Structure 1
Amino acid sequence: MIKLLICDDHAVVRSGLSMLLHGKHDIEVAGEASEGDEAIRMAQELLPDVVLMDLSMPHGKDGMTATTELKKLLPDTAILILTMHDDDEYLFRAIQIGASGYILKNAPHDELLSAIQCVAKGDAYLYPTATKRLMSEYLVKMKQGGEGAGPYDALSEREKEILAWIAKGYSNKEIADSLVISVKTVETHKSNLMEKLGLKTRPELIKFALKKGLLTFE
């Protein structure tokens, strides 16, 4: 049996997934969590084979943070991201932090079942269009320098955009309003890009931006 833990902030979604998956293709739904901290606690108690993890959970720890912590605590547990975000930044970040798979909430039921079985066996799973985009991104990076590319090249386009805004002195809220995204999303991108660039302070970031030619003064 594949022991499964479902983590989603919507009770209706959790209930629907549990009804859909329990008992299908040797899947046992061992538990349900409404946010990241609860998922981490339950995973340590239940030791599931697979955690089905939502990304956007406004109340409590989000899916990215919970996945990062779970992979440190339970490295053998496969984490399958189930999300509405058909977005390269979320996809690449999820892979970087150790998720075994990434599938959209509008995927057919059979595809979700196959994805769970796939990651439970230790394989990776990406929905078809994501695989194409991932390959395209890889080929672009290879053309731009492959292994010799610097840390800046590892940033997503959104992270590069937010780097420039931060370096110019804009606050997280001003950036969020301008890009029509949440402040929490800006903070996540900022944390990710600082980590990728090995920077810890705003002065370091501004210095880096100057070297990259991201700042212009009229």
Structure 2
Amino acid sequence: MKAGLLMYRVLVADNYPIIRMAVKNLVEQLDNFKVIAEEATGIDASLRAEQGDIDIIIMDLAMPPGENGLITIKRIHEYFPNTKIIIFSSRSEPQYINQAIYNGANGYIFKSSLPKELFHALKHAINGEKYLDNNIMVTKKDLLVIKGGSSHFDLGNYVALSKREQEILPLIVLGYTNKEIATKMFISPKTVEAHKTKIMQKLNLASHADLLHYAVKHRLVDL
């Protein structure tokens, strides 16, 4: 790093280690960016962001099995608005790109693009600007979605859940035990059980099967 430059701390989240390594190597070609953390799931990226030392998150939109990346973006943006989010994904469908930006992402880059696209996204992000991959064509309809005119995702009563309940929900769906969730969240199994009870009550659900159906219906998880 050159003397006098501000160092931006980066978290890379992707379920493939080789992708995380490649992104880290690219990011650190820039003088004032340093990858200080790597995670393999959206939930773990969200939990890592809670430590308050991440300036930019570069994450895939789909890291199955786990939480839908669009949900992760929304929660991180809501609770950590100063943390910039750049999506680095193979998904090119307009509805996913639009919703990612609408939910709070600062940039969207295709994995098939040249490295310069990621560099552009990083530089725009630190200046508080949005950046879309040069290969993305934005229509007037897309702009309406991005600006909040409509949404492709109906979350139902999910929005009534607390931040912690939102983080625990996909882990329950994926079959994690109370002890495993407690270890990941640094809370007690008893607290996990209390959160599970509240989740079921708020969503008006009676069983794990009901919760799985709800999560799939509202696209809260990628299985």
Per the normalisation by structure 2, the TM-score is 0.61
User: 1:187 deviation in Å?
Assistant: 2.6
- CA distance in 1 between counterparts of 2:101 and 2:10 reads 20
Q: How does 1:109-128 map to 2 (within 5 A)?
A: 109-128=115-134
User: 1:97 deviation in Å?
Assistant: 0.8
Residue aligning to 2:73: 67
As a proportion of its length, which structure holds more helix?
A: 1
Residue aligning to 1:187: 217
User: 1:72 deviation in Å?
Assistant: 1.6
Residue aligning to 2:20: 14
Structure 1 residues 88 and 11: CA distance shift in structure 2, 3 A: same
User: 1:98 deviation in Å?
Assistant: 1.0
Q: SS of the residue aligned with 2:88?
A: strand
Q: SS of the residue aligned with 1:55?
A: coil
Matched, 1:28 2:34: yes
Residue-by-residue CA offset, 1:110-166 (whole Å, 9 max, x unaligned): 221121111121111011342x3234644xx6xxxxx9xxx9x8355xx7xxxxxxx
Count of aligned positions: 154
- CA distance in 1 between counterparts of 2:57 and 2:151 reads 27
Residue-by-residue CA offset, 1:58-117 (whole Å, 9 max, x unaligned): 122232121111112201111111110111010111111111111111111122112111
> What are structure 1's unaligned runs of at least 5 residues?
142-146, 160-182, 192-218
Say if 2:108 and 2:132, in contact at 8 Å, map to a contact too.
yes
More RCO (CA 8 Å, sep 6+): 2
Residue aligning to 2:108: 102
Q: SS of the residue aligned with 1:128?
A: coil
Say if 1:2 and 1:50, in contact at 8 Å, map to a contact too.
yes
Residue aligning to 2:64: 58
Pairing partner for 2:150 from 148, 151, 154: 154
Residue aligning to 2:47: 41
> What are structure 2's unaligned runs of at least 5 residues?
1-6, 154-212
- CA distance in 1 between counterparts of 2:15 and 2:58 reads 12
Say if 2:87 and 2:105, in contact at 8 Å, map to a contact too.
yes
Matched, 1:83 2:120: no
Q: SS of the residue aligned with 1:45?
A: coil
Q: SS of the residue aligned with 1:69?
A: helix
The 10-residue stretch of structure 1 (74-83 or 37-46) with the greater mean CA deviation from structure 2? 37-46
Code of the residue aligned with 2:134 in structure 1: it is P
- CA distance in 2 between counterparts of 1:155 and 1:61 reads 18
- CA distance in 2 between counterparts of 1:136 and 1:129 reads 17
- CA distance in 1 between counterparts of 2:82 and 2:142 reads 28
Residue-by-residue CA offset, 1:19-51 (whole Å, 9 max, x unaligned): 222252311001101001110111122521110
- CA distance in 1 between counterparts of 2:113 and 2:38 reads 20
- CA distance in 2 between counterparts of 1:76 and 1:65 reads 17
- CA distance in 1 between counterparts of 2:128 and 2:151 reads 28
Say which one has the larger Rg: 1
